[in-house]
Amino acid sequence: MKKRKKRLKILKLIGYLFLLIVAYFIGESIYENYKTDQKIEAFKQRAYETVVEEKYGTTYFYHKVKRTYDYEIEDSRNVFYDENKIEPGLKGDILLTFQAPFPYIPIIDPIISYWLGGHAALVSDNNKIIQSTGMTSNGLLDLSTMFSVILHRGYDETNKFGVSVQEVRNYWLKPTRNETHAEYPYYGEYYRTEILTTRLKYKDQSKKDEEIDIAVNFGKNQVDRGLYNYLFIFDTKNKFYCSDLITRAFNDINRVNDTDYNIDEDGFIPSIHDILLSDDIYITIYKETKSDGIHIYYLEDVI
């Protein structure tokens, strides 16, 4: 009888601890989403001029945002790769979306979007991006591949599973999806209805190019070999999920140059929110799709 009561007490204690942990993560997510909305809105409020263009059968509204802070002015690079402003980000910039890649999975998709966010990619050379998606080419998760990848140790040097880190053309602002893709019924031709481009606040502009190279080269070293990490917090040495790849790429700058950049301040499961809300990160482009077209807010050109 005493042993049974003791077991019940232990189970209750475990239950209470579990509820506390759940409550903490819910509270943290609410706070991070609130701060995210604030940061985006503050960026949008700085827009001072709008140019309207027709592209791909859609109306694009380009809202110029004034460069105000020292880090925006000192890093005088433009924020688009091309003059037509359809290729977001320059080398070393980070692309973010809070919309998860599972719109066809009810309940799971909104939970992931709210808690962790959707996807992150690192802009590489020549308008390419480095990313880790864990998805097959048609935008679906393959359970047998997931299981095989989880059991695999080390790099996948031959990319036999097809879910390693990839370097591809930047597709985030152009219509590239067709009806065969799993996400087409939800997002249409465009990647997502809401995306951001962000940039590191480089502490020493004379070392900016060197530090960009360090982060990008870290990402390049994982291409076609660093598997997707479906376990997130376990087996992390040679496996990466999207925001984890980004934070580790920028942590490599700290390792090489003894800097103290921190784009994952809580140090636990780096999320899209963690990256955006870092004191070392600022917004350069924000895109949202509305009923009248695509609205793009971007830091004004200075070059």
In the chain, where the domains are located: 2-299
Provide the token pair at 54.
Answer: 């027709």
Give the model's pLDDT for residue 138: 60
Provide the token pair at 129.
Answer: 């991006």
CATH: 3.40.710.10, 3.90.1720.10, 1.10.275.10, 3.40.50.720. Which one for 2-299?
3.90.1720.10
Considering the entire predicted model, what is its pTM? Answer: 0.90
Angstrom distance (rounded) from CA 251 to CA 246: 9
Low-confidence ranges of the chain (pLDDT < 50): none
Indicate the length of the chain as a whole number: 303
Provide the token pair at 202.
Answer: 């480089």
Angstrom distance (rounded) from CA 12 to CA 90: 53
Give the model's pLDDT for residue 5: 67
Give the model's pLDDT for residue 210: 97
Give the model's pLDDT for residue 153: 86
Compute the CA torsion angle 189, 111, 33, 88 (nearest 10 deg): -20
pLDDT tens, residue by residue, 209-244: 999 999 999 999 999 999 999 888 777 888 999 999
